[in-house]
Structure 1
Amino acid sequence: MKKAVTFKEAVFLIVSILLLIGISIIGYKLPAHVGILGAIFVLILFMIYKNMSWSDLNEGIISGITPGLIPIILFILIGSLISIWIASGTIPTIMVYGFSFLSPKFFLGAIFFICGIVGAAVGSSFTTISTIGVAFIGMGQMMGFDLAITTGAIVSGAFLGNVISPLSDTANLSAATANIDIFTHLKMELKTVLPAAVISFIYFTFASRSGSGGSNLSEMEILTTGLKENFMISPIMLLPVGLLFFCAWRKVPAIPTIFFNLIFSITLQNCFGKSASITEIGSWIQDGYVSNTGNELIDKLLSRGGIQSMMWSISLILLALTLGGLLIKTGVIDIILKKMEELLNTPSKLIGITSLVAIVVNVLIGEQYLSIILPGEAFKNSFTKQSISPAYLSRTLCDAGSTTNPLIPWGVSAVFISSALGVPTIQYLPYAIFCYTLPLVTIIFSFFIKPNEKQGGKNYEN
């Protein structure tokens, strides 16, 4: 017979898991896989102690992994798209044209802004990062910027666009969880996004003035010449970017969008660039594109992509989701959430705890959808009891759930970013300003919510 999990046991288990993962990563410099695998083993022992069956174990793993299956397919497709976009000349074209228009003095601020616009248009931070983000990484390194701060600007801009886009999956999920329409959610979202975006833009603009200087004009000309000599540089090669915007406008789902883009990019490559055999194309898709221009920097920057480049990330995601599924199956997450409800007696405490739980779910489970759904379902009634507009709930879930996922080394978003851009989470984390400014602004604003009497009821607004 199963034994009930107590609150003390749940807290002890959570603390033990966090310590195990933290010590393995920080103390022993081990890959996150090892710490999470150890945490899974601890959970299995706990399940045995609680007389849970092996079928419970299997159900927990399956339920944990299921939400990550679509992102995993997207990872595979995006890995393929990166290599094809390099081979066809799309990413090199963005880089060459970018050198003409973007000054190093404003580079970081500009890419934060551009990634925000593109992210809002396509509704996907992953698509933004894996397409123009890859081009900006190359440009940043050629201009002499540290890869970590360039990545921070790209990630900040991409997630800015993600939270304000009506096409965004996480924005729509947040609105659906709170039972409101997407435009009511976005109207509330802008109140916290604008201050966080302004702070981030100012930071990156000033960082641009002091962060460059590694490359002079003659070096830039050599790099640009190298790109022009070895890749198809033409406005035609920007058509795949236009296709992304078109698919977003037509609300085509991400998977068919990337499939269409792959076929379209390969067609452009063979019609206007150097024709490639099926064997070559298959090799790019599977193993990534390998640049052989003779320029060491170009070859290093543009040798990337492919399905295999995503396998490290996919294995980490599977382990993290397994851990999350087992934590939910054992009832550990549910017990802690119910205990926290007792503390929620003011709007500021309610929003603060909801934000904290969303962040903790990201740390423990690593899946941004669950960081929205779990606290949303747990605290929805508390918002109703305090007569607080559900738009506050949706905003809190989006601000604290989706935007902190790229800060967790084993989070789905962070793992993807590291694979796509080649920069470890721990390096870009201090510079992803928007991703921790936004939840902070949300929590700070919660202290200024004032009751507004309407129709005899207490309706909080700010």
Structure 2
Amino acid sequence: MQKNNAPNLAIPSLGLALIPIILTIALLGVQIFYYDDFTPHIALAIGFAITALVGWSQGYRWKDIESGAFHVLHVAMPSIATLIVVGMLVSTWIASGTVPMLIYYGLELIDPSWFLAASMLLCSVVSLSIGSSWTTVGTVGLALIGIGSAFGVPIYWSAGAVVSGAFFGDKISPLSDTTNLAAAVTETNVFDHIRNMMPTTIPAMVIAFVIYLIVGGQTATDTAQLAQISQFKEGLSTHFDLGVLPLIPLIVVMALAFFKVSPIPALFTGFILGAIVAAVNYDYNLNQVLTFAHSGFKINTDTASLDSLLNRGGVSSMTWVITLMMFALAFGGALERTRCLESVVRSILRLTKGFRGLQTSAILTSVATNVVSGDVYLSIALPGRMYGPEYSKHGYSRLNLSRAIEEGGTLVSPLIPWNAGGAFVMGTLGLTVVSGDYSALLYIPLAFACWLSPVIGIIYAQTGWFSKKSDEEIMKTQPSSENSAQSQSLKGNI
């Protein structure tokens, strides 16, 4: 989290700090639910302006507020660049036959009755192995969306299963940046942090798996049309090479991710390899490949539903998502620089009594920071830094805090459409919202594993289950035999 350049300025009062937050949320609500228009960009820009006015009333200069916004945007530039590269990669992987091949063999191997459950498990394994939810969604997840479409599964169900698996694998992977960040800001060991997340991880995954298994079977019985599956397979086999060559880009990207190569060079390598395979297999010239990378892949297979699935990708497909992220992050950066977020968190801390309230507040603060700031890293860093000393005061381990901010941060980020995670999911998987039709947003409640985990975490906080005491508190209440021996020796010496 950034340092404030105006440390002598007072933190705004709670009432003043809430003004830009409440007005922006109200404006978003009016635009989305009253005017039926899901374009929150300008509402967030107005929220930034209101925050700037609040900061100005507190003595902040425009340069202070501007630098706060630009700082967060600078930190988020790797995520924005990743979105751009993913748009390029998606188009060339379709053109090369990589995605069509995965869809084809997925239709061959996966039974519709357990498609949703299999999707969640597959994305979990891939994300756990490579430590990247975004790479998982942009590669394996994209193919699973196509398979689900052929099975007649609504896209929001498929997306819910993909998101559940991808972000849960990311959460418990020692290779994940957010997992390491949560451990770092709470000053805990990353492997202890991962082990301490199991009490919420396992129940949430089991419940989600059972739901997907049941619903998957019902969906297959009701909607999967053999004729459509046959049309998909015929269209894919006719227009694409389904041999070994299209597998090369996928294998290389997964290997690079496993060996912790940064996402941007790893995904860009995948884009280049996809472009080479497309040129070799289908004689596309350089201009066609560059056009695909910018404007998306285009093909006519004489099957409208298959065309709508394959005609996508390109940098231009990500512009709506990227601009949304930039507006949201600038708003969040202004709130942080003017110390509005700090004021809200401090007010919550003053009202918090005991461990139950502390743990619940930490989870909900991470969720709220995700909603307001649009930045998953801020939703982990802010409460992680501010709540830490309170856990020590109450005699509880900071592992409880690291679990709370991971659940409210990492897992909730894909469920907020203007958050970096949510914007990426919607842009990559083609979850578009049109006037009067918000069905694409149904993936949010259907990503069961993502929201079940913080709910289970709050239940544990209220019951005291799986709430680890600090090492100091354990030694005070239950001294080990070694500590007892040392105590007796000390008394003898005295």
Q: TM-score, normalised by structure 2?
A: 0.89
1:169 equivalent to 2:169? Answer: no
For 2:485, the equivalent position in structure 1 comes to: none
1:247 aligns with 2:262: no
The 8 Å contact of residues 291 and 298 in structure 1, kept in 2 or not, is answered as: no
For 1:2 and 1:362, how far apart are their aligned partners in 2? 26
Q: Give the 3 Å change call, closer, same or farther, for CA 59–458 of structure 1 in structure 2.
A: farther
Residue 450 of structure 1: how far off its partner (Å): 6.9
Aligned to 2:155: 147
Q: Supply the distance in 2 between the matched residues of 1:326 and 1:382 (Cα, whole angstroms).
A: 26
Q: Which amino acid in 1 is paired with 2:475?
A: Q
Instruction: Quote how far apart the aligned CAs of 1:167 are.
Output: 1.1
**In 1, Cα distance between equivalents of 2:256 and 2:11:** 49
Q: Tell me if structure 1 keeps the 8 A contact 2:253–2:270.
A: yes
Q: Per the alignment, do residues 14 and 270 of structure 1 end up closer, same or farther by CA in structure 2, a change over 3 Å counting? A: closer
Measure how far apart 1:358 and its partner are.
0.3
Q: CA deviation at 1:3?
A: 7.2
The answer as to whether partners of 1:351 and 1:393 remain within 8 angstroms in 2 is yes
Residue number among 156, 163, 187 corresponding to 2:164 in the alignment: 156
Name the residue aligned to 2:446.
431
> What is the deviation of 1:51?
4.0
Do 2:400 and 2:468's aligned partners in 1 also have CA atoms closer than 8 Å?
no
* Alpha-carbon distance between aligned partners in 2 of 1:419 and 1:394, rounded to the nearest angstrom: 29
Letter of the 1:258 counterpart = L
1:109 Cα deviation after fit: 0.8
Please state if 1:264 is matched with 2:284: no
Matched residue type, 2:393: K
1:228 maps onto 2:237 in alignment: yes
Say whether 1:455 aligns with 2:475: yes
1:314 Cα shift? 0.6
- CA 1:219/1:7 → structure 2, altered by over 3 Å: closer, same or farther? closer
Name the CA shift for 1:294/1:148 in 2 (closer, same or farther; >3 Å). Answer: same
CA drift at 1:265: 2.3
Aligned to 2:324: 316
How far did 1:441 drift? 1.1
**Correspondence 1:381 to 2:396:** no
SS for the counterpart of 1:167 is: coil
- Kept after mapping to 2: 8 A contact 1:137/1:151: yes
Q: Secondary structure at the match of 1:236?
A: coil
Aligned residues: 458
- Measured in 1, the distance between the counterparts of 2:457 and 2:299 equals 44
1:443 to 458, 465, 472: 458
Cα deviations by residue, 1:134-162 (Å, 9 ceiling, x for unpaired): 11111111111111111111111111111
The code of the aligned residue for 2:249 comes to: P
Which one has a bigger Cα radius of gyration?
A: 2
CA, structure 1 residues 450+300, in 2 after alignment: closer, same or farther (shift >3 Å)?
closer
8 Å Cα contact 1:291/1:300 also seen in 2:
no
* CA contact 1:21–1:39 (8 Å) conserved in 2: no
Instruction: Please give the alpha-carbon distance, in whole angstroms, between the structure 2 residues aligned to 1:175 and 1:4.
Output: 28
89 and 239 in structure 1: CA distance in 2 versus 1, 3 angstrom threshold: same
Cα distance between partner residues in 2 of 1:387 and 1:2: 33
Show CA shifts across 1:294-353 (max 9, x none): 221111100111111111111001100110011112111111111222233322211100
Does residue 106 in structure 1 map to residue 114 in structure 2?
yes
Question: Who is 2:427 aligned against?
Answer: 419
1:352 matched residue in structure 2:
360
Q: Is it true that 1:63 corresponds to 2:71 in the alignment?
A: yes
Whole-angstrom CA distance in 2 between matches of 1:291 and 1:219: 18
Q: C-alpha root-mean-square deviation of aligned residues, in Å?
A: 1.9
CA distance in 2, matches of 1:458, 1:419: 52
- C-alpha distance 458-395 of structure 1, shift in aligned 2 (>3 A): farther
Aligned partner of residue 131 in structure 1, secondary structure: helix
CA contact 1:167–1:248 (8 Å) conserved in 2: no
Letter in 2 for 1:135: A
Is residue 40–residue 322 contact of structure 1 (8 Å, CA) maintained in 2?
Answer: yes
SS of residue matched to 1:455? helix
* Contact 2:231–2:303 (Cα < 8 Å) also in 1: no
In structure 2, relative to structure 1, the CA distance for the partners of 1:171 and 1:451 (3 Å cut) is: closer
Which residues of 2 match residues 323-342 of structure 1 at below 5 A? 323-342=331-350
Q: Which runs of 5+ in 1 are unaligned?
A: none
| 1:10-25 mapped onto 2 (5 Å cutoff) | 10-25=17-32
| Residue type at the aligned position of 2:254 | F
Structure 2, unpaired ranges of 5+: 1-7, 433-439, 480-494
The farther-off stretch of 62-71 and 21-30 is: 21-30
The more displaced of 184-193 and 340-349 is 340-349
Residue 208 of structure 1, CA deviation: 0.5
Is the partner of 2:60 in helix, strand or coil? coil
Please say if residues 399 and 468 of structure 2, whose CA atoms lie closer than 8 Å, have aligned partners that are also in contact. no
Q: Which residue identity does 2:230 align to in structure 1?
A: E
Per the TM alignment, residue 377 of structure 1 is displaced from its structure 2 partner at its CA by: 0.5
Aligned-residue offset at 1:2: 6.5
- Could you report, residue by residue, the CA deviation over 1:99-130 in whole angstroms, capped at 9, with x for unpaired residues? 11111111111101111111111211111111
| Range moving further from structure 2, 79-88 or 386-395 | 386-395
User: With structure 1 as the length reference, what TM-score do the two structures score?
Assistant: 0.95
Of residues 70, 77, 85, the one that matches 2:93 is: 85
Amino acid at match of 2:260: K
Taking a change above 3 Å as real, the CA distance of residues 287 and 48 of structure 1, as seen in their structure-2 partners, is same
Distance 1:96 1:63, change over 3 A: same
The equivalent of 2:137 in structure 1 is 129
Match of 1:274 among 269, 273, 282: 282
- Matching residue within 12, 26, 33 for 1:5: 12
Query: Cα distance, 1:67 vs. partner?
Result: 2.0
Deviation at 1:244, TM superposition (A): 2.5
Q: Distance in 2 between matches of 1:248 and 1:75?
A: 16
Kindly state the Cα deviation for residue 42 of structure 1 after the two structures are TM-superposed: 2.0
What are the within-5 Å matches in structure 2 for residues 286-325 of structure 1?
286-325=294-333
Q: How far apart, CA to CA, are the structure 1 residues paired with 2:95 and 2:311? A: 10
